Chains A and B, each alone.
Chain A
Amino acid sequence: MEDTRQRIIEATYACVARWGVAKTTVEDAAREAAVSRATVYRHFPGGRDELIHDVVVWELFAFFGRLYDEVRGAESLEAVMERGISFAHRSIQEHEVLQRVMQTEPETLLPTITVESNRIRDAIAGFLVPYLHQHGLAPGVDPDEAGDFLARMVLSYMGSPGRWDLDDPAQVSELVRGELLAGVVVGPEPGKRPD
């Protein structure tokens, strides 16, 4: 049952990669997954809209799963944030399907991404809070408030680098130690750089 659902989602993603979101139909997904239309509707009663929504959510969480794998071994708060921002930026740039859909039909993705970003923000904040405790918070800073603020900023910079060149590790380091962490944690440890 779950295998079939998963197969339909992956098949739909393959269709989206080939033809885009707007041109992908339930029939396309069924054919690609080698199941009947009825089977698709049994797993996704909302039809095409539900299917596309679930594919976007699936790929979004796969993306943040890869991000988690990238940062979970990091030894310090600075290293977590630097590796996370660099990896996320690179992944977004190199994500061909995402880039093409954002160029041609962003309206098909953005509402789902925006709704899901609340859950993602909570997940990022929850991941960062133990690192904040371990590093030591600046006086008067509430860890949950700091986690939420940092998660917002991380999402903002990874999606839209603005004036920053996030391919440059020196700039990522400067951003992390300035805008992101300066107000949140206790002062720097001289000479301690994670890489």
Chain B
Amino acid sequence: MAGQGARLRVVQGDLRLGAAMAPNASAPTDVPDRVSPHRIRLVDAALDCIARQGTAKTTVDDVAHGAGVSRATVYRVFPGGKDELLGAVAETEMARLFSALGARMGAAEELSDVLVIGIVEAVTRITRHPALTYMIAHEPDVVLGRLAFDESNRLLATASRFISPFLIRWMDPEEAARVAEWATRIVLSYCIAPTSEMDLTDPARARHLVGTFVLPGIRALRAPDRSQPVDLVPIAADRAKHAGRVHQVDYLQTYPTTTTHSEGDVQ
């Protein structure tokens, strides 16, 4: 950590030197700096502060000190100060969660595995997140405001848009959106109100829950009259048709190519 910090400070020094040598070619400092090398360091320093003392007590000075930069640097990266910094923290942690979920779910070969792995990964990351854990214990109103009523509807929509591309190998996009929202509700419910009987950080328990309640529900919505059993196998013909949607998550570079399965996989 110390070595990395020293290296980053050297980079900072080089930039200042460059600016001094060519003052007329200085960077446009009045533009909010979204790709600043400081941005992620400040976010991580803020996360450390929040995990120790919560959002209310954390000041811009604390974060600047933790990141080893000046107050002025914090305000250069986040002109809106603490509020903008906290917004960037939430945005970054959400992106990290989705990125980890994408990596794990994209590697799964069976629908049940996609669901189990996604649920375990999400519940584990959320319930063991140090900053979030502190906030739920000491400033629950800050967290809960994001999880109830209208805010929750927004969160459900965001998470569903992200998750459904991982499901369309097995169902049409409408069904995928429906199942993605359902799975998000399951994750949120067990994160907000965990029980020892159904610890979803335990893959065996998550597999039990998915097998007992979720997969039968998916079969029912694929054949509402249950007139015939539904095999939850990849839909090869549909896969090419929906390939465009899969590419929406290509930036994560984790989704398996849509040609992984041959026609022979379909029964």
Asked, given contacts A118-B193, A157-B185, whether A183 binds B217 with beta carbons under 8 Å apart, the answer is yes
Asked, given contacts A106-B145, A183-B212, A183-B216, whether A162 binds B153 with beta carbons under 8 Å apart, the answer is yes
Once the chains are docked, how many angstroms separate the CA of A108 from the CA of B142?
11
The answer, yes or no, to whether A113 is at the interface (CB within 8 Å) is yes
Q: How far is the CB of B51 from chain A (nearest CB, A)?
A: 20
Once the chains are docked, how many angstroms separate the CA of A149 from the CA of B217?
13
Once the chains are docked, how many angstroms separate the CA of A179 from the CA of B189?
15
- Which of A107, A157, A174, A182 meets B219, CB within 8 Å? A182
Once the chains are docked, how many angstroms separate the CA of A145 from the CA of B149?
25
- Which of A107, A178, A180 meets B145, CB within 8 Å? A107
Asked, given contacts A145-B197, A160-B153, A183-B213, whether A114 binds B192 with beta carbons under 8 Å apart, the answer is yes
The answer, yes or no, to whether A48 is at the interface (CB within 8 Å) is no
Contacting pair A179 B209 (CB below 8 A): no
Q: How far is the CB of A82 from chain B (nearest CB, A)?
A: 16
Contacting pair A102 B149 (CB below 8 A): yes
Please indicate the chain A residues that have their CB under 8 angstroms from the CB of B198 in the complex. 145, 148
The answer, yes or no, to whether A38 is at the interface (CB within 8 Å) is no
Contacting pair B193 A178 (CB below 8 A): no
Q: Is the interface of B mostly helix, strand, loop or mixed?
A: helix
- A sample of 5 inter-chain contacts (CB < 8 A) reads A145-B197, A149-B209, A152-B189, A152-B193, A163-B177
Partner-A contacts on B (CB < 8 A):
140-142, 144-145, 148-150, 152-153, 156-157, 160, 177-178, 181-182, 185-186, 188-190, 192-193, 195, 197-198, 209, 212-217, 219-221, 224-226
The 4 closest A-B pairs by CB, nearest first: A182-B220, A183-B216, A107-B141, A110-B144
With A155-B189, A183-B213 given, name 19 new contacts (CB 8 A).
A92-B149, A110-B144, A110-B145, A118-B193, A145-B198, A145-B212, A152-B189, A160-B149, A163-B177, A163-B178, A163-B181, A177-B220, A178-B217, A178-B220, A182-B217, A182-B219, A182-B221, A183-B216, A183-B217
Partner-B contacts on A (CB < 8 A):
92, 102, 106-108, 110-111, 113-114, 117-118, 121, 138, 140-141, 145-146, 148-149, 152-153, 155-157, 159-163, 174, 177-180, 182-184, 187-188, 190
